[in-house]
Structure 1
Amino acid sequence: MSEKGCIKCGSTETGTKDVAMTGTGLSKMFDIQNNQFLVVFCKNCGYSEFYNKKASTGSNILDLFFG
């Protein structure tokens, strides 16, 4: 049985951050940050994955990150 962890380094230590980004067109021109994401990152090597906050819950995202 193989252990699960970061796909880059194998570590199981993670962190999360909420980030917001502008889109294109008018939202970029007026700096309207209407795209919100949850970032799951490896605390060892820094590998990160972005998840749309509207798509799923935090626990499901951690499951996706570790497989």
Structure 2
Amino acid sequence: MSQKGCVKCGGQETGTKEVAMTGTGLSKFLDVQHNQFVVVYCKNCGYSEFYNKNSSKASNIIDLFFGG
């Protein structure tokens, strides 16, 4: 049976942040930040993963981080 937790340290506590980033080409030149992500990070070691905000369901993001 696999144990759930951070893939780097096994920590069980996570935090989340929302970030926006520019794309390439003209959007980068004009500083248009239309790419939105949810960052899930381990509160113990800081390991982070980015999830596309538009395609990820908020209730499942933590499960994805833990490998669920």
TM-score, normalised via structure 1 length: 0.94
Shift of 1:2: 3.7
Cα distance in 2, alignment partners of residues 61 and 5 from structure 1: 13
CA RMSD, 1 decimal: 0.9
Shift of 1:3: 2.3
What whole-Å deviation, never above 9, does each CA across 1:1-55 have from its counterpart, x for those lacking one?
A: 3421000000011000000000000100010000000000000100000000011
Which is further off, 1-10 or 18-27? 1-10
Q: Which runs of 5+ in 2 are unaligned?
A: none
Q: How many aligned positions are there?
A: 67
TM-score, normalised via structure 2 length: 0.93
Q: Which runs of 5+ in 1 are unaligned?
A: none
Give the fraction of aligned pairs with identical amino acids, expressed as a percent: 76
Runs of 4+ deviating beyond 6 Å: none
Cα distance in 1, alignment partners of residues 43 and 57 from structure 2: 21
